[in-house]
């Protein structure tokens, strides 16, 4: 798995491209979607933080972000 984390278990890739996964949140016992994106600089991290504050039926809610993985994502 490209994602090493104690909280989320990646179950299957969703769609094409390989960066979105159907996963299980083991802490809250629920199914979630995980998108792996490269957080290469502070600008990208700030964009994610701003998106997390947005509430719209057209924007997926961001519940969590992890910066420590075995890959730079």
Please give the pLDDT value at position 57: 93
Task: List Cβ neighbours of 10 (8 Å cut-off, separation of 6 or more).
Answer: 1, 3, 21, 22, 23, 34
More confident residue, 10 or 3: 10
Amino acid 73: pLDDT: 40
Q: Residue 62 pLDDT more than 90?
A: no
pLDDT in tens, 18-60: 688 899 999 999 999 988 877 677 887 888 889 899 999 998 8
Q: So what's the pLDDT on residue 18? A: 65
Q: Sort strands 30-35 and 8-13 into parallel, antiparallel or unpaired.
A: unpaired
């Amino acid at each position: 798995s490209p994602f090493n984390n104690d909280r989320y278990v990646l179950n299957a890739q969703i769609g094409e491209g390989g960066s979105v996964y159907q996963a299980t949140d083991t802490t809250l016992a629920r199914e979630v979607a995980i998108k792996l994106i490269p957080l290469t600089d502070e600008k990208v991290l700030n964009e994610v933080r701003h998106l997390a504050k947005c509430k719209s039926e057209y924007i997926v809610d961001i519940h969590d972000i992890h910066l420590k993985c075995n890959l730079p994502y």
